[in-house]
Amino acid sequence: MIPLNFYLGLAALLFSIGLYGVMTHKNGIRMIMCIELMLNSANLNLVAFSSYTNTLDGQVFAIFSIALAAAEAAVGFAILMAIYRMHDKINLDELKILRW
Amino acid sequence: MVKTALEEFALLIPLLPALAFVITFFFGRKMPSGGAIVPILAIATSFVISLIITLRLLANPSEVISQSYSWFAVLNIGILIDPLAAVMLSMVSFVSLLIHIYAVSYMSGDPGESRYFAETALFTAAMLSLALSDNILQLFVSWELVGLCSYLLIGFWYERPSAAAAAKKAFLTTRVGDVMFLTGIIVLTSDLLKLAGGFSDGTYLLRFDEIFSYIPQLSTLQANIFGFEVSHLTIITLLFFGGAIGKSGQFPLHVWLPDAMEGPTTVSALIHAATMVTAGVYLVTRTFPMFIAAPDSLMVVAYLGGFTALFAGTMGIVMNDLKRVLAYSTIGQLGYMMLGLGLGSAIGLEAVGISIFHLVNHAFFKALLFLCAGSVIHAVGTQDMRELGGVGKVMPITAVTMTVAALALAGFGIPGTSIGTSGFMSKDPIIEAAYLFGEHSSNWIPYIFSIAAALLTSIYIFRLIFMTFTGEPRSNYHGHESPAIMTIPLSILALFALAFGSLTRTGFMNFLEETFANSFVNLDIGDLAGIGGNKLVEAAGHEPLFVLWLPLLVAVVGLAISFVIYYLRIIKLGSLASMKNPVYRLLYKRYYQHEIYTEFFSLGIVYGIIAFLSQVFDVIIDSIVEGIGILTVGVSEELRRVQTGVIQTYATGVIVGVSLLIILIKLILEVL
């Protein structure tokens, strides 16, 4: 059996990679993928703790979370598609139509 | 049973006119003739209550009405009706009532009619509450209210710049006195607190009986002012007298009174006869035990009063405006009242009697003089005596009543008998008291002042009568006698001016001398005079014959001079009364008071200093305010660079912050 700390370490690594991506990239697709990465690191945590405590609650939460992530990704990509049609690029820095 | 009921009604005396003010102010416009009926009824009721209380007091002078309610820790509000207050209440409500009735006709058609009646009702209410205050603080509050009402009423026709200026002048001039009065109250309060050993609940610290009981201790407190050792009592009384100077138009704060003629004539009558100017005399009378126990204070009162009487007379003889002559005569008569009070250092409590007697008589004949003048102005439309003349033919009632008032003002009567006008009955005792004082202290200045002032009074008032009512008209005017609603108050007042003095003479003075010996306060004036170092005259009434006859003689001489110059016109004044004559110019320009007070002192010094200070403050405050502004702009100019607008930077900031926070908490928990 792999100890819990390994799962948590992996999840922390994934989360940091995702965070780094969100903070540094300007491409919308990449940022959404990084957010997915951060979400999934949280899912990994949930599942790890679930198996560690021998309960199913965490795995149920993880399934909900995956469903939400799918919906979120669908909405996010749809917005990015619409933006791409308008501007021919998806560089989020240059999107300031809602700013002052 | 009757007595308790009466005491409850006593509260209504000032409350009813105050209520009338509210009603007339808000609803008067919808009522006929500006809602005049409301204040008239209210003041009539006040008068009836005052009269009943006065009559009851007259029967039993020591049973005064006194009700007090605690207010804050050591203060109180309450009413006190002793002989002095009762006389004031009756006189104020009576004269005010007649003036209100007269004003129904005089003010009819004026667009501000309801405002006029509301303000005069408030004026009367303030004066009544001043008269029945039982403590100095409540008196001061009413005092200020009187000042406010005078401001409103003098500036009644505020569209006229001269009326607005006069109102402002009256307010600011009396304010100088009010500040002194307030300072006096503050000094008195701090002294009393010191003597009483701090606060103790339930004592009515500023009630008159309490104040008077501390007089011996107050007189021992000494202060050092500019190297002079002065008793605290002298300081306090002189500060009070400063307030009285302002309100009662004594030199040097008399300048507002002649200008107060800018208001309607009825307002002048109210200010000069019943309310306002009598407040100062009343204050000195009310605190008379303090004055007599304070060394030198009564001396100041006597000298200033006598000087004012003479000073006003000299200006009165050259004025050409009907109402201004009367204004100067008011100042002069107030000077007599103050002189009478000041003579208390020799004649003791009798001073209160003669002074208040003169106040009441003066109220009758001065109200009459003003209402007559108003009647003339109302009918003829001018108040310049040079344009009048022969008015007696068209306005017989006014002419007769005004002559009666003039006789009363000049003090005609036969000495040694009870035949004489009211003015004679009260003015002569003051002049005789001045003689007694002179004999007593070999100081004849007050006597000389009072005799000279009597001569001038007689000259200027008959000059007014002859110039206005006799001779040929000097301009085209269309006069007619005033309606009955105006002439009836005139006739009533004329009756009082003629007969009140001789009917009530002895009883009145004895009554007033009970003021300081009754169930409320019981003071021995002789002892108090001893504290102040004043030696009272033991026996009175042995003046030589010429002293009794001199005032009358002087009045007749004055009448004769005016008769020769202004009726017969035998002597032509010509060069004497022209601006080329320096004395005439000095008097006509009123001793250059306008130049000295307004232009030099007010505008030059006070305004100059304030303008300079305001510029200095402008620079200081401006630089502070602008400095703060510049600093803020500079700092934010730098700080705004932090806000890049890139969300990722913000997110980084949040994450770095949260991480640092977690590390910090972790470290703290480890250490603990």
Three-state SS for B320-348 is CEHHHHHHHHHHHHHHHHHHHHHCHHHHC
Same domain, yes or no, for B550 and B438?
A: yes
State how far the alpha carbon of B99 is from the alpha carbons of B93, B321, B364, B406, B576, in Å: 10, 21, 11, 19, 39
Same domain, yes or no, for B333 and B412?
A: yes
Same domain, yes or no, for B496 and B634?
A: no
Mean pLDDT by 10 residues, chain B (672 residues): 62 85 83 80 88 83 76 77 85 87 81 85 89 86 89 86 85 87 88 75 76 80 74 85 86 80 83 81 86 80 86 82 84 87 80 85 86 82 74 80 85 75 82 81 82 86 82 70 79 82 76 74 72 65 71 81 75 64 70 70 79 88 92 90 79 90 93 82
Instruction: Please report the residues numbered 22 through 41 in chain A whose beta carbons come closer than 8 angstroms to any beta carbon of chain B.
Output: 22-24, 26
**How close, in Å, is residue B645 to chain A by CA atoms?**
9
CB–CB of B276/B148 below 8 Å? no
The Cα–Cα gap between B500 and B515 comes to: 21
The Cα–Cα gap between B338 and B450 comes to: 11
State how far the alpha carbon of B337 is from the alpha carbons of B282, B344, B362, in Å: 10, 11, 10
Which amino acid type is present at position A80?
A: L
CB–CB of A11/A42 below 8 Å? yes
Which DSSP state fits A57? H
Distance linking the first and last C-alpha atoms of chain B = 84
The Cα–Cα gap between B68 and B135 comes to: 9
Triad B551, B556, B557: Cα angle to 5°: 95
Same domain, yes or no, for B574 and B428?
A: yes
Size of interface A-B (CB pairs under 8 A): 11
Same domain, yes or no, for B370 and B411?
A: yes
User: Cα B634 vs. chain centroid, distance in angstroms?
Assistant: 60
State how far the alpha carbon of B411 is from the alpha carbons of A43, B369, B491, B542, in Å: 115, 14, 19, 21
pLDDT value, residue B633: 93
Per the structure block, which two tokens stand in for B391? 């008015």
- What is the extent of the structural domain holding B421? 296-512+544-588
Residues, chain A: 100
Residue B192 in any domain: the answer is: no
3-state secondary structure of B287: coil
**Domains identified in chain B, total number:** 2
Runs of H (alpha helix) within chain A: 4-24, 28-53, 57-87
Backbone Cα Rg of chain B: 30
Per the structure block, which two tokens stand in for B577? 């009364």
Per the structure block, which two tokens stand in for B51? 């009269």
- What is the extent of the structural domain holding A84? 4-94
Same domain, yes or no, for B554 and B646?
A: no
Per the structure block, which two tokens stand in for B2? 């009757």
3-state secondary structure of B65: strand
Does B252 sit behind a cis peptide bond, omega within 30 degrees of 0 on the bond before it?
A: yes
State how far the alpha carbon of B292 is from the alpha carbons of B221, B303, B362, B508, B603, in Å: 16, 15, 24, 21, 38
Three-state SS for B601-642 is HHHHHHHHHHHHHHHHHHHHHHHHHHHHHHHHHHHHHHHHHH
Are A23 and B651 inside 8 Å of each other by CB?
A: yes
Triad B386, B391, B395: Cα angle to 5°: 150
Residue % of chain A over a pLDDT of 70: 95
- Please provide the DSSP assignment of B207-254 as one string: BHHHHHHTHHHHHH-EEEETTEEEEHHHHHHHHHHHHHHHHTT-TTS-
3-state secondary structure of B409: helix
**How close, in Å, is residue B606 to chain A by CA atoms?**
56
The verdict on A93 touching B (C-beta cutoff 8 Å) is: yes
Residues, chain B: 672
pLDDT value, residue B668: 92
The verdict on B659 touching A (C-beta cutoff 8 Å) is: no
Count Cα atoms within 13 angstroms, Cβ side, for B326. 32
Cα dihedral: B102, B113, B248, B226 (round 10): 180
User: Cα A52 vs. chain centroid, distance in angstroms?
Assistant: 24
**How close, in Å, is residue A23 to chain B by CA atoms?**
5
Same domain, yes or no, for B557 and B602?
A: no
What φ, ψ does residue B522 adopt, rounded to 5°? Answer: -135, 100
Residue A99 in any domain: the answer is: no
pLDDT value, residue B314: 83
- Assign residue A83 the CATH number of its domain: 1.10.287.3510
Element of type H or E holding B77 = strand B75-81
> Residue B502: which residues within 8 A CB-CB, separation 6 or more?
B413, B418, B419, B420, B422, B425
Count Cβ atoms below 10 Å from residue B478 Cβ, excluding itself. 8
Instruction: Pick left, alpha or beta for residue B107 (phi over 0 → left; psi -120 to 50 → alpha; otherwise beta).
Output: alpha
The verdict on B55 touching A (C-beta cutoff 8 Å) is: no
Strand B228-231 and strand B65-71: the pairing is unpaired
**pTM to 2 decimal places:** 0.75
The Cα–Cα gap between B47 and B638 comes to: 77
Which amino acid type is present at position B208?
A: F
The verdict on A17 touching B (C-beta cutoff 8 Å) is: no
Same domain, yes or no, for B473 and B549?
A: yes
Are B655 and A19 inside 8 Å of each other by CB?
A: yes
CB–CB of B358/B430 below 8 Å? yes
3-state secondary structure of B482: coil
Same domain, yes or no, for B365 and B413?
A: yes
- Please provide the DSSP assignment of B580-607 as one string: TSHHHHHHHTGGGHIIIIIIIIIIIIII
The Cα–Cα gap between A42 and B132 comes to: 87
> Residue A45: which residues within 8 A CB-CB, separation 6 or more?
A7, A8, A11
3-state secondary structure of B76: strand
The verdict on B545 touching A (C-beta cutoff 8 Å) is: no
Residue B365 in any domain: the answer is: yes
pLDDT tens track for A51-100: 889 899 889 999 999 999 999 999 999 998 988 888 888 887 777 766 65
Same domain, yes or no, for B427 and B372?
A: yes
Residues of B with Cβ-Cβ distance to A26 under 8 angstroms: 648
pLDDT tens track for B305-336: 888 888 888 888 887 888 888 888 888 888 88
The verdict on B648 touching A (C-beta cutoff 8 Å) is: yes
Residues of B with Cβ-Cβ distance to A23 under 8 angstroms: 648, 651-652, 655
Residue A95: closest C-alpha in chain B: B646
Q: Give the relative orientation of helices B422-441 and B350-380 as an angle to the nearest 10 degrees.
A: 140
Triad B154, B158, B159: Cα angle to 5°: 150
Residue A22 in any domain: the answer is: yes
Residues of A with Cβ-Cβ distance to B644 under 8 angstroms: none
Residue B454 in any domain: the answer is: yes
Same domain, yes or no, for B399 and B353?
A: yes
CB–CB of B218/B210 below 8 Å? no
CB–CB of B245/B143 below 8 Å? no
Strand B222-225 and strand B65-71: the pairing is unpaired
CB–CB of B7/B67 below 8 Å? yes
**Domains identified in chain A, total number:** 1
Residue B415 in any domain: the answer is: yes
The Cα–Cα gap between B541 and B433 comes to: 10
Residue A100 in any domain: the answer is: no
Residue B336 in any domain: the answer is: yes
The Cα–Cα gap between A45 and A65 comes to: 12
Which DSSP state fits B470? S
Same domain, yes or no, for B627 and B498?
A: no
3-state secondary structure of B528: helix
